[in-house]
Structure 1
């Protein structure tokens, strides 16, 4: 498997992304994101991997969260490089994110969940989704 680096420049600087001759697998998460009530306490995030030709090998993805309008520690528990392991032939994995039920009246808030493939110690961005936390106060 050969990896190359693709560099793009925009107004904010240089962004470097890896490109693959053949990715070991791809990640699929719901495009429309997730919605969770503040009082729910947790949300289960399902990560599905798609493999070509098959998923006969184990795999690792790394999950990170980032604030959007929601704030880590005030609204949810931050994920920083949280590994998720797929056993051979496994195509679905679930991670749980803790949601904070505060007492403040506030608008719905969102965060971003980034999911990356880890190969030979290197991490390659693959997918992301949003979580919207609906207020209950």
Structure 2
């Protein structure tokens, strides 16, 4: 009989004392999911807020069923995200999968200013609210 699948063990993970790390190579990562500040040549500080941006892109990919910036080279992605302030298009997500509260949360995750992006606890709270509202069904319109 095969061993049952065991959950991932995070016993070796540790919390950091600080929220920012100095780095010589902030541009390391998967380009499609990298926060704009990681493309800035004069940036050498990486915070946990880059993960919030990446989470937003991942959530967009799951909801849209598409790959972000598919077919584009890193330099083109960097220019679009950091210089043009472009983000994956919300209209690529079917409207039934993107209630207004979730669209607002995605925009917050993608804010150009890392300090304005939501904290992880706030993300969880907002996602739970979206799930709760979705379970109740669409809100009635004024005409009903």
- TM-score bin (small chain): under 0.3
Report the TM-score, using the length of structure 2 for normalisation.
0.25
| Structure of greater Rg | 2
Report the TM-score, using the length of structure 1 for normalisation.
0.26
Q: Which has the higher helix share?
A: 2
